[in-house]
Chains A and B, each alone.
Chain A
Amino acid sequence: MNIVFSAANHHQIQPLAAAFVAAGDNVVIWNPHKKPINDMLDEAKPNLLFHPYVRKGYEMEVDYLKQHGCQSLFLTNDSCANIAQFWKGTPNTKYAADLLYISDIQVTQDIIKYLLECREGYKLRIIGQYPVSMPEYVGVPTIRNIADSIKSCNTILDYHGHWEAEAYRQGKGYYCAYPDVKKQPSTLTSFELAALYLNELNLPTTDYLFAKQKEIMS
């Protein structure tokens, strides 16, 4: 099967692409800003195209892809296999904190208020690609920094429920600003997530994905 991912640097794309490659599918990472969609369709002839997020004008793109025999799938944070679980992480005394907030969405006044309320009496540590104007913000992390920080903290602060699965997996405390927005904790690994997407398309059950996962993780 030919699979195309648009946006290589999105944190959900990398483990998912790795899972499909391990399963033996042809995977292409496509940068929509550098290559027109027609060229991509001619070269890759995709069966599936994963979009990391919904963007303006996506409806036309989805229709166009469908006309060329390519089904579109949008990754949502609801079924996010958090990248940190892929890298395990090790505890680091330098990253120790009572509360950890990972700034992975645009910072708003509400988020600042939420953090200011939560930090009273606790050691708060904030990392993430979106800077927060507080002294507790200590820089843009790599994936390994995120994994190590999660391992080194006591409780994960969350705003939209993105890190619930990881908190559950690591046995950490979890406090979310909007707990009723979501769901049961998802403990899907990247391989399981890939299988889920394939099952949604009524393709044969991908037992080989689980076998591959077991082989790589052991």
Chain B
Amino acid sequence: MDKIGFDDMGLAFIANFNRQNLDVDTIAFIQDYDRPPSIPRFAVMQEKEAYNYSGILVATSFNSAQKLKYMRPAKKYFYLWSLEWVHDLYTVDELSDIYQNDEITLIVRSEQHQNLIKSIWDKDALIIEDFNYEKFIQL
């Protein structure tokens, strides 16, 4: 993650993952520190530690997905909180490298986004609404 901040993504993440008895170990690898909505009850580490991580890694932004490309976890996922390529300027190769990467499985928040990803990037995406914890632990 870029950060766990006081925004809609940070709120959803904390709400779902800040439960007392988490069934699986959760670690948030963050690039920048920001004031989270509440104190995280899971491990928070610097992003550079993720390069040694061998579990399941989920990127939550295009910036973190670009780094995910060079990491070696058991599985790679990219959780598309928003359609970032519409708002920021990237090159064709940069976007194609991530969204059409065979090693990275895309996860979206709605069926509408899923249809859009299929139409634009010709890729199937999983649907998990707003960091739903039960669905995440099934990955």
A residues lining the B interface (CB < 8 Å): 93-94, 96, 123, 125, 127, 131, 133-142, 145, 149
- What residues of chain A lie closer than 8 Å to B89, measured between beta carbons? 131, 139-140
Q: Report whether over half of chain B's contact residues are helix, strand or loop; otherwise say mixed.
A: helix
Structural contact, B120 and A136, CB atoms closer than 8 A: yes
Question: Which of B91, B92, B120 has the most chain A CB atoms inside 10 A of its CB?
Answer: B92
Is B119 on the interface with A (CB-CB < 8 A)? yes
Structural contact, A138 and B83, CB atoms closer than 8 A: no
Minimum CB distance partner of A140 in chain B? B91
B residues lining the A interface (CB < 8 Å): 83, 85-86, 89-96, 100, 116, 119-120, 122
Minimum CB distance partner of A139 in chain B? B92
Minimum CB distance partner of B95 in chain A? A139
Structural contact, B93 and A145, CB atoms closer than 8 A: yes
- What residues of chain A lie closer than 8 Å to B94, measured between beta carbons? 139
CB distance from B59 to the nearest CB of A (A): 18
Structural contact, A138 and B96, CB atoms closer than 8 A: yes
- What residues of chain B lie closer than 8 Å to A138, measured between beta carbons? 85, 92, 95-96, 120
Structural contact, B92 and A145, CB atoms closer than 8 A: yes
A94 and B93 CA atoms in complex are apart in Å by 11
Instruction: State the 8 A-B residue pairs at the shortest beta-carbon distance, nearest first.
Output: A139-B92, A145-B92, A141-B92, A139-B95, A139-B90, A140-B91, A139-B91, A94-B100
